[in-house]
Amino acid sequence: MKPLKIGAYIRVSTDDQVNTYEGSLDSQKFRIKEFVDFKNRQQKDWGNIVEFYVEEGVSAGTTNRPMYQKIMSDIRKGKVNLILVSDLTRLSRNLLDFCNLINELERHKASYLSMKEQFDTSTPIGRMMVYIIIALGQFEREQTSERVAVNCHSRALRGLLNGGQAPMGYDKHPEKPGLLIVNNEEAEKVKTIFNMFLQTGSRSKTVEALNELGPYPKRTSKKAKSLPPARWSVQSLGKLLEQPAYIGLREVNKIYKDEDHSYLKPWQKHQLVKAAWPAILDEKIFYDAQHLLEEARDNERSRLSKGEKRFFLLSNLLTCGETGFPLVGQSAHSSNGTLHRYYHYARRPKNLEVVRPRLNAEEIEEKVIGDLANALKDANYFVSLEKNLKEQADSKNKNSESEYQRAKKELSEVSDQFSMLLLNQGKMQLNETALKFTSEQLNTLAKKKEDLEKYLNNLNYQPQDHGAIKEQVLFVENQIRLLMQGWAKATPATKKRLLRRTIKEIIITRSEIHICFWLNACELGFGRDEASGASPEDADKIIPLRRISPQASDRNLSILSSGKKGFGRGAGT
C-alpha cells in the first residue's frame, strides 16, 4: 500500500489567535506532526505530510478561503489524497459545505481524517456522528455571530460607535473609543463644505472648488499625513454630506436601510438614535443639503429610465488591440435626429497616426452576447477554449522550465565552488592576507547562493497539469451558464455586473474580437492575475481564450470615420 499523501489543514478564525504562540497555529502544527509520526510508528509508511495549508484569521462558515481552495485544488490534481485536521470544526462549520466536501473527496478517491473525532464514516452511525458535530459547530458559529450583532446593536442604540474612523469634524475619545469629541478646527471646515454645496447646488462643482481651494479630505494615518493633500471625489463628498453624526444622530444598521423591515430581526432594523457626542452643524443646513442630494438622485433616476438606449454593456471591458487604449460607450445624434450609440476612445490619443473609427454599439454587443449564448449550444466552443488555454499554459511552462533549469544549474555550480573553496581552506595553511581573500570569496559565493535559492523559490516552477486545464474550462462554462440563466429578465445594470464576473477584457483588433475570460485562481499552479489576464488591482498579461473571426455576412462595426487613417473597412471590426 502506498503512503498517504497528506495535506495538513490548519485554521484559526481571529487575528488574536494568529499572534498567540501557544494554543493556535503552532500548537496545531506540532500536534499534527506528532500524530503523523505516531501513525507511522504503528504502521510503516502510513503517510507523509506533503504540505501545511495554514489559514490565518478566517472563519469556517464559508468555503471562500484561499488555503481551503488550494488544498481542494491539490486534491483534484492528485497531489494530496488525505486532508488531516486537528478537529472537524477547523475544516468546516457549515453542514451543506461539509456534505459538498465529502462528495468532492469521494469523486477524487480521497478522504479526510480528524485527530479528535476519528469516526468510521463508511458506516451510517459514523456519518451521523460527524454530521452532528458539524451541525453543532454551525450552531455555535451562528449563535456567536448573533450574540455579537445584538451586543453591537445595543451599543449603537446608546449612541456609541462600534469601530471605524472618526469623520471630519471629530476625533475619537482617547480613553473611550465608542465616543467622539469635537475637533474645532475640522468642525469649521465641515460647515464651510456644507455652505459651498448649498451655494453651488452640485456635488461636482463643489468638488472642483474644494480640490482647488480646500479644505481637503481628512487623513488619519501617520504615513498619510506626510503625503500631499488628498483629493475629493463626488463619492467621498456625498459620504460626508450624508453623515447624520454632524447633527448629533447615530445611524443604526445602515446596510439594511432599503430592506423590507417586516422580514428583519429587531437588531437588524435601520433607525436613527441620539448620538453620545454633540452636534456641530445646524439641522436646517443639514436637511437642506439632504433635500438637494435627493433631488439630484431623482433627476439621475429619471435620466437613466428615459435613456436606457444610452446604456453601454461593454464599457470598461473593451480595449483597442492596436493602441492599447480603452474604448468607452458614447452617443451622438445625426443631422436627422437619430441617436447613434458607439464605442470609441474616452480621449482622443495624442500623436497617434492610427486612430480607430467608432464602433457600432448595437452590433458589437450583439456579437459578444450572441457568442456567449451559442457557447452552451456549440459542442466545439469549450473544446476550442481548452485548446487555446493549453497552448498558453504550455508556452508559459516552457519558458518557466527553461529559466528554472538555468537557475538550478547555476546554483549547483555556485554550491560546488563554495564547497570546494571551503574544503581547500581547511587543508591549506594560509597567511593573514590569503585568509582574508578566501573569506571574502566565501562570503560572495554564500550571498550568491542565497540569492539563487530565493529566486528559485519565488519562481515556484511546477510542471503543467493538463487535468487542471479541464477544471478551468468547466469553471468558464459554469460562469457563462450562470450569466445566460438570468440574462433575459435582468436589468441593464445587472447585465453589466454579470458580464464583468465572466469576462475580464474584450480586445478589438483590425478584424477580430478577442474575449478574455476570468479563470479560477487555484487550478493552474499560478495566480489569478496571470491566469485570468489581470486582477482588479494589478495589470498583467492577457490570455485571450476566445476569438470571434469575421464572417462574410458581417456588417462593418465602424459607423463613423474618425477623419484620420483608420483600420480599414473589412468585415468584423
186 pLDDT more than 50: yes
119-133, 256-270, 394-408, 435-449: which range is least confident on average?
394-408
pLDDT value of residue 548: 53
566 pLDDT more than 50: no
pLDDT value of residue 466: 59
509 pLDDT more than 90: no
10 pLDDT more than 70: yes
For the chain, which residues make up each domain, given as ranges? 4-149, 170-306, 308-400+463-573
463 pLDDT more than 60: no
55 sits in which H/E element: strand 47-55
Is 367:548 a contact under the CB 8 Å cutoff?
A: yes
pLDDT value of residue 193: 92
Return d(Cα 464, Cα 397) in angstroms, integer. 6
Mean pLDDT to the nearest integer, 424-441: 72
Cell, residue 83: 486532508
451 pLDDT more than 90: no
194 pLDDT more than 90: yes
| Residue of higher predicted confidence among 462 and 285 | 285
The widest CA-to-CA distance across the chain, in whole angstroms, is: 99
Return d(Cα 382, Cα 23) in angstroms, integer. 48
Return d(Cα 215, Cα 392) in angstroms, integer. 51
23-27, 361-365, 538-542: which range is least confident on average?
538-542
Banded model confidence at residue 522, pLDDT cuts 50, 70, 90: very low
291 sits in which H/E element: helix 283-306
E runs forming strands in 287-355? 318-320, 327-333, 339-345
pTM of the model: 0.43
Mean pLDDT to the nearest integer, 14-22: 47
539 pLDDT more than 50: no
Percentage with pLDDT > 90 across the chain:
7
390 sits in which H/E element: helix 379-427
pLDDT value of residue 246: 92
pLDDT value of residue 408: 80
pLDDT value of residue 500: 86
pLDDT value of residue 14: 60
| Residue of higher predicted confidence among 227 and 244 | 244
4-149: in CATH 3.40.50.1390? yes
125 sits in which H/E element: helix 124-157
98-107, 463-472, 482-491: which range is least confident on average?
463-472
pLDDT value of residue 350: 66
206 pLDDT more than 60: yes
| Residue of higher predicted confidence among 462 and 474 | 474
Cell, residue 426: 581547511
| Residue type at 298 in one-letter notation | D
Return d(Cα 433, Cα 438) in angstroms, integer. 9
| Residue of higher predicted confidence among 482 and 561 | 482
DSSP structure string for 198-237: HHH--HHHHHHHHHHH-PPPP--SHHHHTSSPP---HHHH
Angstrom CA distances, 40 to 3, 35, 113, 197, stand at: 10, 9, 15, 73
**Same CATH fold, 170-306 and 4-149?**
no
| Residue of higher predicted confidence among 457 and 474 | 474
123-137, 442-456, 533-547: which range is least confident on average?
533-547
pLDDT value of residue 122: 61
pLDDT value of residue 284: 92
Mean pLDDT to the nearest integer, 219-239: 77
| Average pLDDT score over the chain | 76
Mean pLDDT to the nearest integer, 101-123: 80
Which of 459, 468, 397 has its CA nearest to residue 73? 468
Phi/psi-derived region of residue 23, left when phi > 0, alpha when psi is between -120 and 50, beta in every other case? left
Instruction: Collect contacts of 534-542 with beta carbons under 8 A, ≥24 apart.
Output: 534/504, 534/505, 542/504, 542/505, 542/507, 542/516
Is 117:126 a contact under the CB 8 Å cutoff?
A: no
553 pLDDT more than 80: no
CA angle 23, 24, 27 (to 5 degrees): 65
71-80, 155-164, 275-284, 517-526: which range is least confident on average?
517-526
571 pLDDT more than 50: no
Which CATH superfamily, name and number, covers 170-306? Putative Large Serine Recombinase; Chain B, Domain 2 (3.90.1750.20)
Collect all residues with Cβ–Cβ distance below 8 Å to 540 and sequence separation of at least 6.
Answer: 529, 530, 533, 534
232 pLDDT more than 80: yes
The residue with cell 481637503 is 216
| Residue type at 198 in one-letter notation | L
Cell, residue 134: 458539524
Banded model confidence at residue 353, pLDDT cuts 50, 70, 90: low
Which of 53, 56, 60 has its CA nearest to residue 96? 60
Return d(Cα 327, Cα 176) in angstroms, integer. 51
371-380, 420-429, 480-489: which range is least confident on average?
420-429
pLDDT value of residue 387: 81
pLDDT tens column, 149-164: 888 888 888 888 887 8
3-state secondary structure of 3: coil
> How would you class 500 by CB atoms within 10 Å of its CB: exposed for 0-12, middle for 13-18, buried for 19 or more?
middle
Collect all residues with Cβ–Cβ distance below 8 Å to 54 and sequence separation of at least 6.
Answer: 10, 11, 25, 29, 67
CA angle 534, 72, 498 (to 5 degrees): 40
In b/e form, how buried is each residue of 507-532, taking b as 16+ CB within 10 angstroms? bbeeeebbbbbbbbbbbbbbebbbbb
3-state secondary structure of 312: coil
18 pLDDT more than 60: no
- Beta-bridged to residue 274, according to DSSP, are 249
